[in-house]
């Protein structure tokens, strides 16, 4: 069984409070594992870099973005914190600052983590997308972000021993990435049947970046797979069809696009296993964002979501899924839900803070990391983070 019927009958504010308590409990045990967190990725990870590049390109810098936690837009494409923010909190670290903020403002605690992610960023180089005739939001690819990290190291430490100490005690969040690559490819006309060859290119490029980080001294790496794109309001809207066989009858998600995400994740895990075998001194953890979130669509009430809130965005431009590519969240006629904590999707593409929080807790408390993240730094305290039975089962059964 999942959450008990008595818990399900409680008001949602209490469920949100329970979630905060879960995170606080885990943080109390996990704190001190790492001294820094460095992250790379796209809009699922970006905490504000895009606004320093071109605020007009991307629309995450206007209300109601950030309304539920920061109470103002911060450049995060959500109503609150992202997985990178919540992960930092779990490990007792400050929220990693956007790298480009360090160019423009006086930033404290830069030695405790920096976020290099940029909304719209791809794994493959921008020239690839130019060749296929796709228009991208930014040319700041994963390679570009790695170069930023190298420049940052020069300012952070001037001795090899200092850098080795800082990097070796840090955790590197490499992703989520790859989703934008596939978006650009599919939206430019590449067929699903041809995608396996392109998945191989994306995964190989990610492997190259991970190997480079290891060569720079990275020891602890957390590498996420991509989310179930077939469940996002953007895909459900763009590829809406009357053919009921295209949809998973249990979740309402588009089957073939979720299979693309699953294939990417399978290939990524194979590559990570190979890298780990060649680098036994490193801790490479695969973060299964896909399955950590699929429980939302199968059993939404167990996570405080409504059935409507699984496939329909909280903030959008109307339509069956409250998503319109031409009328994004934050524009004057935006339709905004009353309670984002009841929704999985914030704006049709990105998730709500509530969804990110459940995924984050699931990564540490549930079975959604390989090897288990908790075994790397808190194995001696494992018994201290055992939550109530119904919460444990909600992660293990879904």
Q: What is the pLDDT of residues 96-113, one digit of tens each?
A: 999 998 776 655 556 678
Active site residue 273: no
Q: Is the pTM of this model over 0.75?
A: yes
User: Average pLDDT, stretch 154-167?
Assistant: 77
CA distance 161 to 81: 34
The distance from CA 374 to its chain's CA centroid, rounded to whole angstroms, is 19
160 against 14, higher pLDDT: 160
Domain extent, residue 278, equals: 5-396
pLDDT of residue 393: 37
Active site residue 54: no
pLDDT at 353 over 60: yes
| SS3 per residue for 85-142 | HHHHHHCCCCCCEECCHHHHCCCCCHHHEEECCCCCCCCCCHHHHHHCCCCCCCCCCH
The catalytically annotated residue of 43, 78, 299, 313 is 43
The catalytically annotated residue of 350, 374, 394, 398 is 350
The catalytically annotated residue of 85, 180, 288, 347 is 347
pLDDT of residue 378: 47
Structural domain total, the chain: 1
pLDDT of residue 210: 98
User: If pLDDT is split at 50, 70 and 90, which confidence band does 4 have?
Assistant: very low
Query: Both tokens of residue 336?
Result: 């905004």
Per-residue pLDDT reduced to its tens digit, 191-220: 999 999 999 999 999 999 999 999 999 999
Number of neighbouring beta carbons within 10 Å of residue 250: 10
pLDDT of residue 27: 54
Task: Say which residue the tokens 């605020």 belong to.
Answer: 55
pLDDT of residue 5: 35
**45-59, 157-171, 266-280, 371-385: which range is least confident on average?**
371-385
**12-16, 78-82, 228-232: which range is least confident on average?**
12-16
CA distance 9 to 84: 31
User: If pLDDT is split at 50, 70 and 90, which confidence band does 2 have?
Assistant: very low
CATH number of the domain bearing residue 123 = 3.40.50.1110
pLDDT of residue 390: 32
User: Average pLDDT, stretch 279-285?
Assistant: 96
User: If pLDDT is split at 50, 70 and 90, which confidence band does 374 have?
Assistant: low
User: If pLDDT is split at 50, 70 and 90, which confidence band does 235 have?
Assistant: very high
């Amino acid at each position: 069984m999942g959450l008990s019927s008595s818990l399900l009958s409680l008001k949602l504010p209490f469920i949100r409070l329970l979630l905060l308590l879960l995170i606080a409990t885990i943080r109390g045990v996990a704190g001190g594992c790492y001294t820094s967190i460095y992250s790379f990725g796209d809009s699922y990870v970006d905490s504000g870099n895009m606004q320093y590049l071109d605020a007009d390109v991307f629309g995450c810098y206007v209300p109601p973005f950030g309304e539920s936690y920061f109470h103002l837009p911060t450049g995060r494409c959500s109503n609150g914190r992202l997985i990178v923010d919540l992960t930092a909190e779990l490990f007792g670290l400050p929220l990693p600052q956007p790298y480009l903020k360090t160019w423009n403002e006086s930033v404290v605690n830069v030695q405790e983590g920096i976020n290099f992610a940029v909304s719209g960023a791809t794994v493959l180089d921008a020239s690839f997308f130019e060749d296929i005739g796709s228009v991208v939001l930014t040319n700041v690819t994963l390679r570009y972000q790695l170069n930023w990290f190298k420049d940052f190291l020069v300012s952070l430490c001037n001795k090899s021993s200092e850098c080795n100490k800082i990097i070796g005690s840090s955790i590197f969040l490499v992703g989520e990435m790859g989703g934008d690559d596939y978006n650009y490819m599919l939206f430019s006309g590449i067929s699903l049947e041809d995608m396996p060859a392109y998945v191989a290119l994306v995964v190989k490029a990610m492997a190259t970046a991970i190997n480079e980080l290891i060569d720079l001294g990275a020891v602890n790496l957390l590498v996420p797979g991509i989310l179930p794109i077939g469940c996002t309001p953007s895909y459900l809207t763009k590829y809406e069809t009357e053919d009921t066989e295209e949809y998973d009858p249990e979740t309402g998600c588009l089957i073939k696009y979720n299979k693309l995400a699953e294939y990417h994740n399978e290939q990524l895990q194979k590559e990570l296993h190979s890298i780990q075998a060649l680098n036994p001194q490193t801790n490479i953890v695969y973060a299964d964002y896909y399955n950590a979130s699929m429980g939302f669509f199968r059993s939404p009430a167990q996570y405080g979501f409504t059935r409507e809130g699984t496939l329909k965005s909280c903030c959008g431009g109307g339509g069956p899924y409250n998503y319109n590519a031409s009328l994004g969240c934050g524009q004057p006629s935006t339709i905004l839900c009353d309670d984002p904590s009841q929704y999985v999707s914030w704006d049709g593409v990105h998730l709500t803070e509530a969804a990110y929080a459940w995924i984050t807790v699931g990564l540490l408390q549930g079975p959604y990391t390989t090897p288990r993240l908790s075994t790397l730094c808190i194995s001696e305290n494992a018994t201290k983070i055992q939550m109530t039975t119904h919460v444990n089962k909600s992660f293990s059964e879904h």
